[in-house]
Amino acid sequence: MDTSDTSGQLEEALERLHSSGPERLGRLTNHAPMVVEALAAHGRAGAVHRWLDLYRGKLEDFPTPVAPVTDDNWPSALGDPRRAADWIGYFSRALAEHPWHDVLARWWPRLLPGIYGGATHPVIRVGHAVRALEAAPNPPRLAELAHGLGYWAARHHPVSGIAPLPGDRSAARSLDATPAIEAAEGGFPARLAALRRLPVWADDVTDPDTARERLTELVRAATHRYATHGHGEHTMLVHAATAPNAVLRTLGSLPREMWAPSLRAAWTASAAVTAMYAPAQPTAYTPPARLTAEEVLERALAHGDEHVIKLTDTALDVGDEQALASALRSVELSTPLS
């Protein structure tokens, strides 16, 4: 993985995208910043602008500000999607005045309870931004972190009242034990409101290194599971893997005392998506061919769908044959970008 791309094409793409808002039609996420970062991270920076040309019809102009968010009034603006521009402005100022690790550490515990907001896309965008910054900090990548954090703050959405169910030591078996919601219809907000029960998993972990190990296990389990369960909802079930992977990518940039709480938040997000879009039955899946990681990435890029590319990005992080099979399954299930 070429995380240190120095071609400048990622920076050009981010600058091009920062005139666009984080959503379109008031609810659908702008995936382009995440996809271009993933392509650059895997040595495909040369494809970034070609892909953006295909995606540009899904971009909307940057939203109109309402009123500045400040250190004093931010609680009243938290979770208000109308304030996305105000929040992005707030984080742009904060990142100009303070080291980005400090801003992230200050805001991560404030934002983490709202990980469900925006169908988990904001935390995923932050995870991509952090990976880019750790590879090569520069102004466009800092601006992308401001956009990601601002989007998360605007879409911040905590969930409470979820009854705990017995889980398992294994992340995979705990995901298998996650019951489907009873009202399995409607969009993400309606399904999230119907969420009542989730298994407890890894809730006794306090050691930071153990938290990282368990989070790695969760990402692997959720990625593997897509191959046999992705047909439940081929787009939304991607996030059961990509949301915890975004948290995993961010751990090394956070104080260690935040790692265990991050594990718990990532589990509830992954399990919630699993419950909200569970198929009636799993389906056995055999990939059409045994392909290398490079070949799988090429197929995802040729397909072009934003969720296919992002799941492939996570599958490449996991790196085993079953993860690559999940990426190929997403290619088969999804409609190509054209």
pLDDT band of 85, cuts 50, 70, 90: very high
Q: Which two tokens stand for residue 324?
A: 């690559």
Could you give the 3-state DSSP secondary structure of residue 198? Answer: strand
Run of H or E including 58: none
Percent of the chain with pLDDT over 90: 95
* Nearest alpha carbon to residue 47 among 2, 99, 107: 2
Residue 5 has pLDDT above 80, yes or no: no
Average pLDDT (161-187) is: 93
Q: CA separation (Å) from 171 to 235, 236, 334?
A: 22, 19, 26
Centre a 10 Å sphere on the Cβ of residue 302 and count the other Cβ atoms it contains: 12
Q: For the segment 16-55, what is each residue's pLDDT rounded down to a tens digit?
A: 999 999 999 999 999 999 999 999 999 999 999 999 999 9
**What distances in angstroms separate CA 77 from CA 23, 70, 87, one per listed residue?**
18, 9, 8
Kindly state the average pLDDT of the residues 237-249: 98
Identity of residue 83 = R
- What pLDDT, in 10s, does the model give residues 130-157? 999 999 999 999 999 999 999 999 999 9
CA 93/CA 115 separation, integer angstroms: 23
- Rg of the Cα atoms in the chain: 19
Cα 101 from chain centroid (whole Å): 19
The contacts of residue 285 (CB under 8 Å, 6+ apart) are 227, 228, 325, 329
Residue pLDDT, tens place only, 302-320: 999 999 999 999 999 999 9
Confidence at residue 3, expressed as pLDDT on a 0 to 100 scale: 47
- Residue 222: band (very low, low, confident or very high) from pLDDT cuts 50, 70, 90: very high
DSSP state, residue 71: T
Mean pLDDT of 206-216: 98
pTM beyond 0.95, yes or no? yes
Q: How far apart are CA 317 and CA 29, in angstroms?
A: 23
Share of the chain above pLDDT 70, in %: 98
For residues 86 and 45, is the Cβ–Cβ distance under 8 A? no
58: CB partners within 8 A, 6+ apart: 24, 28, 30, 31, 32
Q: How confident is the model at residue 7 (pLDDT cuts 50, 70, 90)?
A: confident
Is the pLDDT at 288 greater than 90, yes or no? no
pLDDT at residue 175 greater than cutoff 50: yes
Q: What is the pLDDT of residues 258-287, one digit of tens each?
A: 999 999 999 999 999 999 999 999 999 999
E strand spans, the chain: 23-24, 28-29, 163-165, 197-199
pLDDT at 2 over 70: no
Mean pLDDT, rounded, for 193-216: 97
Domain positions in the chain are 9-152, 163-276, 293-333
Q: What is the mean pLDDT of the chain?
A: 96
Q: DSSP assignment of 250-275, as one string?
A: HHTTS-GGGHHHHHHHHHHHHHHHHH
